[in-house]
Structure 1
Amino acid sequence: MPTAEHGNATVIQMRDISPEGDIVWASLTRTQLSTQRPPDWLGDGDVLFAARGARNYAVCLSQVPAATVCAQYFFVLRCKTDRLLPEYLAWHINRRPSQHYLRNNAEGTDQLSIRRAVLEDMPIAMPDLAQQRRLVALAEAAVQERRQLDALAQNRERLLDALAQQLLSSSASTHAIP
């Protein structure tokens, strides 16, 4: 979609989604949509599915700014039953069995893609809502753990860099590698 500084909508693109599935709302591009047909605005609980590329994943949206759409390489999934949580649906799509199904059914030579019919035919296990909530909470805890571990590793690297800098600064004799 073309960029329009004072456009009437923002658009979610692949680059706006982190590997963990977070959307950087502040980085969305503004665009001007035609007013001939009202857009299908995104809302909380919508699930975006990246249908093109080597990595097909799903993201459940929350805190969606008004007047937001997504780029054409996403499918928008909306749960039509109250027996399926959108967060659970995204989690299920991102798990290994579903990813295996998607890889086996991807099409294309230059760029792999998933047809909508393939996605609609994907088997989805639907435990009761309490179990879905527990699985979503467990997945969120795993993401938080991963973020904390990454932060610890980055802190350790900064510490090691600071120690190396301190050794170079305080050493009276530094030598080149022989």
Structure 2
Amino acid sequence: MREPLRHVADIRVGYSFRTKVENDPAGDVRVLQISDIRNAAALDPQALPRVKWPVASQPPLLRPGDLVIPARGDHYEALVIQGDEPMVASGQLFVIEPRTAVVRPDYLCWFLNRSESSNYILKNRAGSSIPSLSRPVLGDLPITIPALETQQKILALAQLWQQEQMLSERLLVNRQKMLEGIYSKLLES
């Protein structure tokens, strides 16, 4: 089944702060900004700035299973929110709330990070100096939605591939160290 993203998830823009986000150690809510998701694998919610939320309104908190994706720039990598840390997305991000009966959040994230989705976004974004992605364009992004069981198989395969890549990188680093040692021995003789 192939559906536009808006048919399988709700999409909203993050919260627009009126001023620059400054860390307040006494703050009750953390703020996720566009710069924080450039390296999604290293995201540490504890390192995000805190802000004091005004009592007059409820913060639009991110929930586990929500996704965020940049609304502007050159990199459009999606990230699944995990954990229970009270956190809001800044206005530079779109928040995608999957309808989990149809699609798993981690599958949707995997699909959004595929080259097919990236090509769609890059082709349909607007602006020349700072390219931006509109909510209607994001909502029209075609998503292939297999059965939940198939989604799980794809995710398991993707995880194995990720592990293989990490092991290959470690092997290359070890081989480089070994060769540096051999070079040093040869130069000494």
Task: Give the TM-score band, short-chain normalised.
Answer: 0.7 to 0.9
What is the correspondence of 1:88-99 to structure 2 with a 5 Å cutoff? Answer: 88-99=107-118
Report if the CA contact (8 A) 1:16-1:25 is conserved: no
**Number of residue pairs matched by the alignment:** 169
User: How far off is 1:131 after superposition?
Assistant: 0.7
Q: Look up the SS of the partner of 1:98 in the other structure.
A: helix
Q: Does 1:137 align with 2:150?
A: no
**5+ unaligned residues in a row in structure 1: which ranges?**
173-178
What TM-score do the two structures reach when normalised by structure 2?
0.78
- CA shift digits 1:88-134 (9 cap, x unpaired): 11111111221111111111111111111111111111111111111
Give 1:53's match in structure 2, choosing from 73, 98, 104. Answer: 73
Find the counterpart in structure 1 of residue 62 from structure 2. 42
Larger RCO, structures 1/2 (Cα 8 Å, 6+ apart) = 2
Report if the CA contact (8 A) 2:37-2:77 is conserved: no
Q: Does 1:14 align with 2:34?
A: yes
Moved more, 69-78 or 29-38: 29-38
Report if the CA contact (8 A) 1:85-1:132 is conserved: yes
Q: Closer, same or farther in 2 for the Cα pair 1:132/1:32, shift >3 Å? A: same
Q: Look up the SS of the partner of 1:90 in the other structure.
A: helix
Report if the CA contact (8 A) 2:30-2:45 is conserved: no
Q: Does 1:79 align with 2:90?
A: no
Moved more, 64-73 or 152-161: 152-161
What TM-score do the two structures reach when normalised by structure 1?
0.82
Higher strand fraction: Structure 1 or Structure 2?
A: 2
Q: Closer, same or farther in 2 for the Cα pair 1:160/1:9, shift >3 Å? A: farther
- CA shift digits 1:16-36 (9 cap, x unpaired): 335464422332222222222
Moved more, 89-98 or 26-35: 26-35
Q: Closer, same or farther in 2 for the Cα pair 1:34/1:167, shift >3 Å? A: farther
Report if the CA contact (8 A) 1:17-1:24 is conserved: no
Identity of aligned residues (%): 30
Give 1:25's match in structure 2, choosing from 19, 42, 45. Answer: 45
Partners of 2:92 and 2:72 lie apart in 1 by: 6
Give 2:132's match in structure 1, choosing from 101, 110, 113. Answer: 113
User: How far off is 1:167 after superposition?
Assistant: 6.6
